[in-house]
Amino acid sequence: MWETHEVFNQVPDLIDYNLFATDTVLREAVVREGAAWRVPALEAQGERLGRAETQRLAELANRHPPVLQTHDRLGHRVDRIDFHPAWHSLMGLLYADGVHGAAWTEPGAGVHVARAASFFLHGQVEAGSLCPVTMTFAAIPVLRREPALYAALADKLATRDYDGRDLPLAAKRSITLGMGMTEKQGGSDLRANTTRARPLDGSGRSRDYALVGHKWFFSVPTCDAHLVLARTEDDTLGCFFVPRWLDDGRRNAVRIQRLKDKLGNRSNASGEVEFQDAVGTLIGEPGRGIPTLIEMAAQTRLDCVLGSTALMRRALVEALHHARHRSSFGHTLIDQPLMRNLLADLALECEAATMLAMRLAATVDTDSGNTPDAGAERCALARAWRRILVPAAKFWICKRAVAFTGECMEVWGGNGYVEDGPMARLFREAPVNSIWEGSGNVMCLDVLRALARDPEGAALLLRDFGDTCAGEPVLATALHTLASALRAAADNEWQARCVAMQLVLIAQACLLLRHAPQAVADAFIASRFDRRRGQVAGLLDATPAAALLIERAWPDL
Which residues have C-beta within 8 Å of that of residue 151, sequence separation ≥ 6? Answer: none
Instruction: Tell me the pLDDT tens digit for each residue of 73-106.
Output: 999 999 999 999 999 999 999 999 999 999 999 9
Which of these three, 287, 321, 351, is where a domain ends?
Answer: 287
Could you tell me the CA-to-CA distances from 1 to 6, 8, 108 in Å, in that order?
13, 19, 67
Neighbours of 54 (CB within 10 A): 21
Q: Which of 314-318, 348-352, 425-429, 495-499 has the lowest mean pLDDT?
A: 495-499
Residue 184 lies in a domain: yes
Let me know whether 197 and 232 are in one domain: yes
Residue 403 lies in a domain: no
Let me know whether 36 and 145 are in one domain: yes
Which residues have C-beta within 8 Å of that of residue 337, sequence separation ≥ 6? Answer: none
Nearest-5° Cα angle at 95, 93 to 99 = 105
> What local confidence, expressed as pLDDT, does residue 372 receive?
81
Q: Residue 156 in contact with residue 175, Cβ under 8 Å?
A: yes
CATH number at residue 255: 2.40.110.20
- Per-residue pLDDT band at 533 (split at 50, 70, 90): low
Residue 529 lies in a domain: no
> Alpha-carbon distance 441 to 248, whole Å?
44
Average pLDDT for 495-509:
96
> Alpha-carbon distance 126 to 86, whole Å?
11
Angle between helices 130-143 and 111-123 (to 10 degrees): 160
Side chain identity at 16, as an amino acid letter? D
Residue 169 lies in a domain: no
Which residues have C-beta within 8 Å of that of residue 496, sequence separation ≥ 6? Answer: 441, 444, 445, 447, 448, 489
Average pLDDT for 246-257:
96
> What local confidence, expressed as pLDDT, does residue 123 receive?
98
Side chain identity at 448, as an amino acid letter? L
Let me know whether 89 and 209 are in one domain: no
> What local confidence, expressed as pLDDT, does residue 12 receive?
95
Average pLDDT for 164-174:
97
Let me know whether 205 and 92 are in one domain: no
Let me know whether 209 and 153 are in one domain: no
How long is the chain? 557
Let me know whether 34 and 152 are in one domain: yes
List beta partners, residue 208.
281
> What local confidence, expressed as pLDDT, does residue 492 receive?
83
Which residues have C-beta within 8 Å of that of residue 332, sequence separation ≥ 6? Answer: 323, 324, 325, 326
> What local confidence, expressed as pLDDT, does residue 346 receive?
98
Neighbours of 275 (CB within 10 A): 26
> Alpha-carbon distance 337 to 478, whole Å?
30
DSSP secondary structure letters along 512-543: HHHHS-HHHHHHHHHHHS-TTS-SSS--PPS-
Which regions of 83-206 does DSSP assign to beta strands (E)? 177-180, 196-199
Average pLDDT for 316-321:
98
Residue 241 lies in a domain: yes
- Per-residue pLDDT band at 488 (split at 50, 70, 90): confident
Which regions of 156-232 does DSSP assign to beta strands (E)? 177-180, 196-199, 208-219, 225-231
Residue 104 lies in a domain: yes
Let me know whether 34 and 130 are in one domain: yes
Let me know whether 146 and 190 are in one domain: no
What proportion of the chain, given as a percentage, has pLDDT over 70?
99
User: Which is higher by pLDDT, 280 or 3?
Assistant: 280
Let me know whether 99 and 215 are in one domain: no
Q: What is the DSSP letter of 264?
A: S
Q: Is the pLDDT of residue 490 over 70?
A: no
Which residues have C-beta within 8 Å of that of residue 280, sequence separation ≥ 6? Answer: 197, 208, 209, 210, 211, 228, 230, 240, 241, 242
Q: For the chain, what is the mean pLDDT?
A: 95
Q: Is the pLDDT of residue 381 over 80?
A: yes
Which of these three, 287, 311, 338, is where a domain ends?
Answer: 287
3-state secondary structure (DSSP) of residue 444: helix
Which of these three, 131, 158, 185, is where a domain ends?
Answer: 158
Choose among 225, 229, 247: nearest CA to 239. 229
User: Which is higher by pLDDT, 292 or 409?
Assistant: 409
Instruction: Tell me the pLDDT tens digit for each residue of 106-152.
Output: 999 999 999 999 999 999 999 999 999 999 999 999 999 999 999 99
Let me know whether 134 and 204 are in one domain: no
Side chain identity at 365, as an amino acid letter? D
Q: Which of 190-199, 218-227, 268-277, 488-497 has the lowest mean pLDDT?
A: 488-497
Q: Residue 153 in contact with residue 175, Cβ under 8 Å?
A: yes
Q: Work out how many domains the chain is built from and give that number.
A: 2
Residue 190 lies in a domain: yes
Residue 195 lies in a domain: yes
Domain ranges, residue 187: 177-287
Q: Are strands 177-180 and 225-231 parallel, antiparallel or unpaired?
A: parallel
Average pLDDT for 287-304:
91
Q: Is the pLDDT of residue 374 over 90?
A: no
Q: What is the DSSP letter of 146?
A: S
List phi, psi (to 5°) of 81.
-120, 125
Could you tell me the CA-to-CA distances from 437 to 207, 247, 298 in Å, in that order?
28, 31, 9
74: buried, middle or exposed (CB in 10 Å: 19+, 13-18, 0-12)?
Answer: exposed
Let me know whether 72 and 152 are in one domain: yes
Let me know whether 153 and 189 are in one domain: no
Q: Is the pLDDT of residue 502 over 90?
A: yes
Side chain identity at 125, as an amino acid letter? V
3-state secondary structure (DSSP) of residue 181: coil
